[in-house]
Amino acid sequence: MATSKDFGKVAVLFGGDSAERDVSLRSGQAVLAALQAQGINAYGFDPAEQPLTGLVDQHFDRAFIVLHGRGGEDGTIQGALQYLGVPYTGSGVLGCALAMDKVRTKRVWQSTGLPVAQSAVIVRGKPVDWASMIEELGGKVMVKPAQEGSSIGMSPARNAAELEQAVALAHKYDQEALVESWLSGPEYTVSIVGDQALPAIRVQSTHEFYDYDAKYQAGDTQYHCPAGLCELEERALEQLAVSAFRAVGGKGWGRIDVMCDQEGNFKLLEANMVPGMTTKSLVPMAAKAVGMSFEQLVLRILELSEV
For the entire predicted model, the pTM comes to 0.90
Torsion region of 228: left, alpha or beta (phi above 0 gives left; psi -120 to 50 gives alpha)? left
User: What is the pLDDT, as a whole number, of residue 205?
Assistant: 75
Binding residue per annotation — 233?
no
Active site members: 20, 150, 281
Domains and CATH numbers, the chain: 4-90 (3.40.50.20), 98-114+184-303 (3.30.470.20), 119-181 (3.30.1490.20)
Binding residue per annotation — 41?
no
- Determine the Cα–Cα distance for residues 5 and 191; give it in Å rounded to an integer: 28
pLDDT tens sequence across 95-119: 999 999 999 999 999 999 999 999 9
Question: Is the pLDDT assigned to residue 170 strictly greater than 90?
Answer: yes
Residue type, 12: V
pLDDT tens sequence across 82-95: 999 999 999 999 99
Residue type, 40: I
Binding residue per annotation — 272?
yes
pLDDT tens sequence across 32-67: 999 999 999 999 999 999 999 999 999 999 999 999
Residue type, 288: K
- Determine the Cα–Cα distance for residues 239 and 37; give it in Å rounded to an integer: 34
